[in-house]
Amino acid sequence: MSAPGIRHFLADDDLTPEEQARVLDLAFELKQAPYDAKPLAGPRTVAMIFDKQTLRTQASFAAGIAELGGYPMLVDGALAGIGVRESVSDVAQVLGRQASVIVWRTFAQTRLEEMARYAGVPVVNALTDEFHPCQLLADLLTVREHKQQLAGLTVAFVGDGASNMGNSWLLAGATAGMHVRIASPEGYLPDAEIVERAAKIAATTGGSATTGTDAIAAVTGADVVVTDTWISMGKEEEAEARAAVFAPYSLTTELFDRAKPDAIAMHCLPAYRGKEIDAEVLDGPQSVVWDEAENRRHAQKAILTFLMEEATS
Ligand code: NVA
């Protein structure tokens, strides 16, 4: 029952390759002139709900919404108790009458999909267990800034391939025409459904999507090397078991040296130095992690602008 004409950004492949390129162009333009475009003038309200911890996402959405002339309304997920105190569909219908867009960080993707069905306004995924598409727009913008291209580049993601970041790199990277290689321990590889979804997109963009357990093979010759925490939010109870299984997948200087000499290192943060990444890599000259963090603002302003002004369903 999602209202006709309303578009959402729930997963990376909600954007076609052309639309993704358009949003990245828009992000680039907004970065050059951050205070010029005011598509949220009014100010129109954007509801931001966090059911999990946040730093970058809250800060970058709040700053970006303000720059677009809008008002960022923070809704405390713990107080709202979405799905506990009230159903997702009731919350959606209430917030949809107050806000022009709903931005939600939550657990299961199905919760976000239900919000989108009932809200009557665009809904944006600010991270779920399954996907982190706003991070990927920022990451692709960052790669484009450093490499002047996306299509044809090889990106290696080393770590928890079954996480939101692994899944999103598969879908967004394939959409951008990149060759996405995921290296994860057995049991932590992305779902076959996501890999097939990415491969289908890659077949139309000239990219590819491959997964395996060999981190060295994945990183060798890569243009971009990505990792992420081994313990995503919600998995804290598995911390000890995961630390042991993932140890051989740490992005050490030795592993990073297998990539192209001018490769860039990426991490969405928060990072745990000495665990999934060596301090020498994270803080080294080839790291672009602070650009990624900044680019969240520009990329999210672009997707909000696109959903409000350009998108049609
Ligand atoms: N995979 C991480 C990303 C944090 C931005 C998590 O879900 O906690």
Q: Tens of pLDDT along 262-299?
A: 999 999 999 999 999 999 999 999 999 999 999 999 99
Chain CA centroid to CA 291, Å: 14
- Average pLDDT in the chain: 97
Segment 33-58 shows an average pLDDT of 98
Give yes or no for residue 229 CB within 6 A of ligand 1: yes
| Of 268, 304, 291, nearest in space to 61 by CA | 304
Q: How far is the CA of 232 from the centre of ligand 1 (A)?
A: 5
> pLDDT, tens digit, for every residue of 141-175?
999 999 999 999 999 999 999 999 999 999 999 99
Task: Produce one character per residue of 33-51: b if its CB has 16 or more CB atoms within 10 Å, e if not.
Answer: eeeebebbeeebbbbbbbb
Among 7, 8, 44, 132, which one carries the catalytic annotation?
A: 132
Percent residues over pLDDT 90 in the chain: 97
pLDDT at 311: 75
Closest residue to atom 6 of ligand 1, CA basis = 232
pLDDT-derived band at 312 (thresholds 50, 70, 90) equals low
pLDDT for 2 equals 65
- Residue 164 Cα: closest atom of ligand 1: 1
CA distance 98 to 111: 20
* pLDDT average, residue stretch 60-88: 97
- 271-280 burial: b if 16+ Cβ within 10 Å, else e: beeebbbbee
- 3-state SS, residue 105: strand
Kindly state the average pLDDT of the residues 40-61. 98
Residue 280 main-chain phi, psi, to 5 deg: -65, -30
Mean pLDDT, range 19-31, rounded to an integer: 98
Residue 247: the pLDDT is: 98
Q: Which amino acid is at 3?
A: A
Rounded distance from Cα 165 to ligand 1 centre (Å): 7
**Section 101-119 average pLDDT:** 98
Signed CA dihedral, 207, 281, 216, 171: sign only = negative
C-alpha distances in angstroms, 137 versus 71, 241, 301?
Answer: 22, 31, 11
Q: Residue 313's pLDDT band (boundaries 50, 70, 90)?
A: low
Locate tokens 């060759």: which residue? 179
Cβ count within 10 A of residue 226? 26
Query: Distance between CA 24 and CA 9 in Å, rounded?
Result: 14
Q: Kindly list the distances between the CA atom of residue 262 and the CA atoms of 108, 177, 225, 265, 285, in Å, as whole numbers in the listed order.
A: 37, 20, 11, 10, 10
Helix, strand, coil percentages (3-state) for the chain, rounded to 5, are 45, 15, 40
pLDDT for residue 1 is more than 70: no
Q: Where are the strands (E) in the chain, listed by range?
A: 45-50, 71-76, 101-105, 123-125, 154-158, 179-183, 208-212, 224-227, 264-267
**Ligand 1 neighbour 228 (Cβ under 6 A):** yes
- The whole-number pLDDT of residue 5 equals 86
For residue range 245-266, what is the model confidence (pLDDT) as tens digits? 999 999 999 999 999 999 999 9
pLDDT digits (tens, 9 = 90+) for 176-214: 999 999 999 999 999 999 999 999 999 999 999 999 999
Helix (H) or strand (E) holding 304: helix 289-305
Catalytic site includes residue 93: no
In a mutational test of the pocket of ligand 1, which residue from 164, 227, 277 has the highest number of ligand atoms less than 8 Å from its CB?
Answer: 164
Q: Is 232 in the pocket of ligand 1 (CB under 6 A)?
A: yes
Q: Is the CB of 231 under 6 A from ligand 1?
A: no
Identified catalytic residue from 7, 56, 105, 111: 105
